[in-house]
Chain A
Amino acid sequence: MFMQAFLDIFDIYLLEAVINGILLGGVLALLALGLNLIFGVIDVTWICYAELVMIGMYAMYFMVQVYGLSYFVAAPFTILLVAVLGAALHYLVIAPLLTAPPINQLLATGGVLFVLQSFATVAFGIDFRNLGIRLPVLAFGDMNFSYARLLSFLAALVGMVAVYLFMTRTFTGTAIRAISQDRQIMALMGVDTRRIYLITSAIGGGLAGLAACLLVLQYDVHPFVGLSFGPITFLICVLGGLGNFIGGFIAAFVFAEIISLGGLFSDLEWGYVLAFAFFIVMMFIRPAGLFARRR
């Protein structure tokens, strides 16, 4: 009798953790999509990607909390701001290094990571801040889901579909996909690669901005918030195969489930430890990513 009751509760928790994992996976997939886009098209890894999200979260905080804008008015401005930041990052840092070895570009964006983090520290201080919006908790049977997570999951899906449509239905999108297939030929075909790179960087930034709008609903903002989901985003992209959109999408959910379920059985940190360990093991089984074709 007691045992039966215990099992019932346990299963509910398990199911709740699984669903929360899926909801977390949506935002991670959005982040991974942005990074993968940059990598696939420009062949650069933005180590500072999560810090762009952090800046976006601060922008949301200031517009909503300090200037009293409505959340839905502030969100487009934030997306625009981070998109401009992404384009500026490309123009100022990546463009001069395009012909340099890839590792220099990676390390230069590592420098930008320092700059953004300490800029936030200097400008906003190290206090934890939040929007002060408390969204209701959704009760479904005996399970509780945060409304914020559900909303972010849906918004992330919408964002990803929008990018997909842009990439397949517009001329610019087609040019972007073509460039990721062959960098040299497209320049000969009369496509202005510099313009395409800038647009791609802006889209990547815009996705970071959208992720910022969603994450700010669930997490407090502080200058080092990027470190809590930045590394995991890189691992997702590598596991899915850098530049592989579908792989990144699936890997995001795999990771989210590991973190969520690991956190269920122990502390959240152990969930992360498990995810990292899983990543290292996978690298040895499939060095070029989960879905790479065997050469």
Chain B
Amino acid sequence: MIGQGRLAAWGIGLAALVALPFLYRDPYHLHILVLILIWSFAYTSWSMMGRFGLVSLGHGGFMGIGAYVTALLWNHLGLSPWIGIPISMAAAGVLALIVGYPCFRFRITGHYFVLVTLALSGIVLQVITATRDYTGGSLGYTPNRASGNKLLALQFDDKTTWYLIALGVWLFGIVVWHWVDRSMARYALEAISEDEDAAAAAGVDVTAEKLKITLLSALMTALAGAIYCQYQMFITPDTVSGIAVSLQMVFAAIVGGLFVSLGPTFGAIITILLAETLRIGFGTKAVGWDNLVYGVLLVLFIIFLPKGILGSLLDRLKPQPKVPRAHEQEAVQIARPGA
């Protein structure tokens, strides 16, 4: 599917990205880049589901589990993140299955699915806050500094290493996105998001297909949370879990564009640069302004540009006659139980 030219463009772009920290070493800018890459990965994970109309507000919960389980295992059991991260991902995956299976089995869709997943991220946030004896509650939590092997503890002091790790994880996310994009599952899921009954009649196992993509999305989101925790070395319930984080994912994915692989990345670049510019330009006076701008943009985007910036730009660039699918007219299309 990917032509020679595009493959070359990807190769050159990647080489430039890998070479960047060796040529340019400003720690602040590298820090911003690492954050953009980690959040891009999280947003990409969300849009794996979101692009098929499975709008989840529970991803804050998965991210929180990824971050907190990894940190708790390290601090209390001394378990290396190399083992802790897979465990935390598995925990998020199990939770996704527990909530997802009955949802899809009983065809909880639309508003109801959004609100069930909202409850999920609410639960995770409250559990983290309630078990404050272990997690530090809303004051936040810091993984212990490694005394011995840094590699074993997945703690590095230099930004270059983190940049390369974040780049690798982000690239993994993009590869998975393309892998899903080219798989049969994509067609099945698109059929489901257009009309569940018709898809089921055509032989698509609706529950299984939805469950697979939900599991994949939850695993990746937990990984994003764990990497974020290892990089920042400080997590609070509000920065990695809860409804605000879930809404932030939805927002960035929509602004960037859900239906193109680099859309969520584009959304992360815009939102993080916006927040940082406001923070540097206005200092403490800027508290709240970034979210104010986000909110206004989100409303405007949904009304006027539901395909997102990158999605609309790409459409503009290649005006090939393509019949627009109904669901791409919508910011996020919701799976409907029959028409």
Our verdict on whether A and B bind, yes or no, reads yes
List residues of A whose CB falls within 8 A of some B CB. 45, 93, 96-97, 100-104, 106-108, 110-122, 126, 223, 227, 231, 234-235, 238, 242, 266-267, 269-270, 272-273, 276-277, 279-280, 283-284, 287-288
Once the chains bind, are A103 and B295 in contact (CB under 8 Å)? no
A115→B295 contact, CB < 8 A: yes
Are B247 and A114 in contact, with the CB atoms below 8 A? Answer: yes
Chain A residue numbers with a CB within 8 Å of B111 are 45, 102-103, 106, 238, 242
Beyond the given A102-B111, A276-B123, A280-B99, could you list 10 further A-B residue pairs with CB under 8 A, ordered by the A residue number? A103-B332, A113-B247, A121-B287, A231-B122, A235-B115, A269-B130, A283-B103, A284-B102, A287-B108, A287-B112
B residues at A contact (CB < 8 Å): 53, 55, 99, 102-103, 106-108, 110-112, 114-116, 118-120, 122-123, 126-127, 129-130, 243-244, 247, 250-251, 254, 287-292, 294-299, 302-303, 306, 330-334
Please give, as numbers and ranges, the residues of chain B lying within 8 Å of A126 by CB-CB distance.
287
B34 to chain A, nearest CB (A): 25
19 A-B contact pairs sorted by A residue (CB < 8 Å): A45-B111, A101-B334, A102-B111, A102-B334, A103-B332, A104-B302, A106-B111, A108-B299, A111-B294, A114-B298, A115-B296, A119-B292, A122-B289, A238-B112, A270-B126, A272-B122, A273-B127, A280-B123, A284-B103
Q: Are B302 and A111 in contact (CB under 8 A)?
A: yes
Distance (whole angstroms) from the CB of A292 to the closest CB of chain B: 11
For the complex, give the distance between the alpha carbons of A234 and B129 in Å: 21
* A interface majority secondary structure: helix
Task: Decide: A114 near B294, CB < 8 A? Known: A227-B243, A269-B130, A273-B130.
Answer: yes
| Number of A-B residue pairs with CB-CB distance less than 8 Å in the complex they form | 153
Q: Is the CB of B130 within 8 A of A118?
A: no
Whether B288 pairs with A112 at a CB distance below 8 angstroms is: no
Minimum distance in angstroms from A26 CB to a CB of chain B: 22
Known contacts A100-B330, A273-B123, A277-B123; is A111 also within 8 Å of B292 by CB? Answer: no
Contacts A108-B302, A118-B295, A223-B288 given; indicate if A272 touches B112 (C-beta within 8 A).
no
By beta carbon, the residue of chain B nearest A231 is B122
A110 contact set on B, CB distance < 8 A: 247, 250-251, 298
Bound complex: CA A285 to CA B196 (Å)? 21
Q: Which residue of A lies closest to B333 (CB)?
A: A101
Contact check, A115 vs B243: say whether CB atoms are below 8 A apart.
no
A97 nearest in chain B by CB position: B303
8 cross-chain pairs, A with B, having the tightest CB-CB distances, nearest first: A114-B295, A121-B288, A111-B298, A115-B295, A269-B130, A118-B291, A118-B292, A284-B102
CA distance A242 to B109 in the complex (A): 13
Give the distance to chain A from B197, nearest Cβ to Cβ, in Å. Answer: 14
- B243 contact set on A, CB distance < 8 A: 227, 231
CB atoms of A280 and B302 under 8 A apart: no
Q: Chain B residues with Cβ under 8 A from A238's Cβ?
A: 111-112, 115-116
Determine the distance from Cα of A111 to Cα of B122 in the docked complex, in whole angstroms: 19
A129 to B287, CA, bound (A): 18
Closest chain A residue to B287 by CB distance?
Answer: A121
Identify A107's interface contact among B127, B288, B302, CB under 8 A.
B302
Task: Tell me the bound Cα distance from A122 to B284 in angstroms.
Answer: 10
CB of B331 within 8 A of CB of A104, answer: yes
For A118, the chain B residues whose CB sits under 8 A away are 288-292, 294-295
For residue B246, give the distance in angstroms from its CB to the closest CB of chain A: 9
Q: Which of A96, A103, A122, A267 contacts B303 (CB 8 A)?
A: A96
Give the complex CA separation of A273 and B294 in angstroms: 30
- Please state if A111 and B295 are interface contacts (CB–CB under 8 Å): yes
A235 close to B298 (CB less than 8 A): no
A223–B289 alpha-carbon span in the complex (Å)? 13
Q: How far is the CB of A88 from chain B (nearest CB, A)?
A: 13
B112 to chain A, nearest CB (A): 6
Considering the complex, give the chain A residue whose CB is closest to the CB of B238: A224
Choose from A119, A270, A283 the contact partner of B108 (Cβ within 8 Å): A283
Contact (A107, B296) CB under 8 Å given A102-B111, A126-B287, A287-B106: no
Report the separation of the CA atoms of residues A144 and B247 in the bound assembly, to the nearest whole angstrom: 40
Question: Are A112 and B299 within 8 A (Cβ)?
Answer: yes
Point out the residues of chain B lying under 8 angstroms from A108, CB to CB: 298-299, 302-303
In the complex, what residues of B have CB within 8 A of residue A276's CB?
Answer: 119-120, 122-123, 126
Which residues of A are found within 8 Å of B298, using beta-carbon distances? 107-108, 110-111, 114
Contact A103 B123 (CB under 8 A): no
**Best-surrounded residue of B53, B244, B288, B289 (most CB of chain A within 10 A):** B288
Are B118 and A269 interface neighbours, CB within 8 A?
A: no
Q: Which residue of A lies closest to B110 (CB)?
A: A102
Tell me the complex Cα distance, A232–B122, Å: 9
A267 to B138, CA, bound (A): 14
Q: What is the distance, in angstroms, from A258's C-beta to the closest C-beta of chain B?
A: 13
Q: B291, A103: Cβ atoms under 8 Å? A: no
Chain A residues within 8 Å of B106, by CB: 284, 287
- A93 vs B55: C-alpha distance in the bound complex, in angstroms? 20
B residues less than 8 Å from A234 (CB atoms): 115, 118
CB < 8 Å: which of B114, B119, B297, B302 contacts A97? B302
- Bound: A283/B100 CA distance, A: 12
Measured CB to CB, the closest approach of chain A to B280, in angstroms, equals: 17
CB–CB B296/A122 < 8 A: no
Set of chain B residues within 8 Å of A93, measured between Cβ atoms: 299, 303
Expressed in whole angstroms, the Cα–Cα distance for A126 and B238 within the complex equals: 15
